[in-house]
Amino acid sequence: MANHKSALKRAKQNQVRNARNTHIRSTMRTLVKNIRTAVTAGDAEAANTALTKAIPFISRTASKGVIHKSTASRKISRLSKLVNTLEQS
């Protein structure tokens, strides 16, 4: 455990940030899962609604530094492509 006052503060800050990042990442994964389940069920309307909700959240997750911006871009691209294949069928 940290002994200096600054090291104690740093440890506390790391705990808070870790909890926040975990929550954000978990919420993002849930939104992605909602899209995938809607696509699996063949429900284009639900998939579009879920995608509309997920895209800004994924972008916000990247802007907060929880995930890399390229990862966010890749996720958005792949999910959009997945939903678009459902609409064409």
Domains of the chain: 5-88 (1.20.58.110)
d(CA 56, CA 61): 9
Chain segment 24-69, per-residue pLDDT in tens: 999 999 999 999 999 999 999 999 999 999 999 999 999 999 999 9
d(CA 80, CA 58): 12
CA 77 to chain centroid: 13
Mean pLDDT of the region 5-29: 97
